Amino acid sequence: MFGYKAASLNRAIFLCCFHSTGKFSSRELCRMSSNPVAAVCQVNSTPDKEANFAACMGLVEKAKEAGAHMVFLPEGFDYIGSSQEQTLDLSETLAGDIISRYSDLARKLNIWISLGGFHERGEDWKRDRRIYNSHVILNEMGHIVSVYRKCHLFDIELPEKIVSLKESAFTLPGHSLLPPVQTPIGKVGLGICYDLRFPELSLALLRQGAEILTYPSAFTMATGKAHWEVLLRARAIETQCFVLAAAQVGNHHAKRASYGHALAVDPWGEVLGDCGGTDVGLTLVQIDMEKLRDIRRNMPVQQHRREAKFYCSMD
């Protein structure tokens, strides 16, 4: 089943939500839009890489059918392992099978794809068996145009919420931020999941010209309920950017579940699309750059920002 609605600030934004049991009709297709269309996906990855690829491929195909110019898949789109050992064993390099298959898919469908969190083997894999959490951008020719490696690693203990994760036990932190990527929908600044909690990252991307921020994620149930939407809306409001956040949803295995609610947020902080907390699916949203320019012109926050040293004056 699917639903759709119109949302507006200065002008109408059309979106629709597609779930795995439904199809788009001609009324819901976004082909006639004068604005580029992004598809923000919600998936339920397991340790089964073949099943995960089949599910993600189906969503990318549906997004293309609906007129999307770029598709966003979440962190762990390739798999979510049931143990540290399995997570490491299933990892690959950028030259491996998984990225190759997605490159072929992008080229076949002539569409850009954001692979939001790939388990990439580190440079010294044979020596230390550690990986990167890598956000890979493919263009419509299937070429890798950017690889951002997650800088902030999720190490957290919340006994009262039964949450205990230590990403740094087997994951290497990225060495640097990357400049936004020019895509068919605008200039996209790359983050991954826990990066969402660090406004310094989003502001750095804004200074480099970002118009869209993306945070592909696998938020836990506890942190998702408490912080997911409010953090995404905050990042959109403070940067006056569109924010697109593909998400994992549901039970991945006996030890882990994700919150879902893949979101698209506009530069005013309005939620344009929400995939909910139960189903695999996607939301389509028009990226209205005129709306972004209007918001930035009418409330010129960035012009009012003081020089960097001012904010360090108490240090």
Structure tokens at 300: 């010129």
Q: Quote the CA–CA distance of 59 and 282 in Å, as a whole number.
A: 7
Residues 6+ apart with CB under 8 A from 289: 35, 186, 211
Choosing from 30, 150, 167, 211, the catalytic residue is 150
Q: Where are the alpha helices (DSSP H) in 134-271?
A: 199-207, 221-239
Q: Give the CA distances from residue 176 to residues 34, 147, 149, 181, in Å, rounded to whole numbers and listed in that order.
A: 35, 11, 8, 15
Is 75 an active-site residue?
Answer: yes
Q: Quote the CA–CA distance of 236 and 175 in Å, as a whole number.
A: 25
Structure tokens at 157: 């203990």
> Which DSSP letter does residue 78 get?
S
Rounded to 5°, the CA angle 154-220-138 comes to 70
DSSP assignment string, 129-151: --EEEEEEEE-TTS-EEEEEEP-
In single-letter form, the type of residue at position 110 comes to: N
Q: Quote the CA–CA distance of 315 and 303 in Å, as a whole number.
A: 24
**Cβ-contact 265, 240 below 8 angstroms:** no
Choosing from 193, 211, 241, 291, the catalytic residue is 193
DSSP assignment string, 15-37: EEEEETT----TTT--TT-SS-E
The count of other CB atoms within 10 Å of the CB of residue 63 is 28
**C-alpha count within 13 angstroms, C-beta hemisphere, residue 215:** 31
Pairing between β-strand 281-286 and β-strand 271-274 as defined by DSSP bridges: unpaired
Choosing from 30, 41, 64, 75, the catalytic residue is 75
- Please list the active-site residues: 75, 150, 193
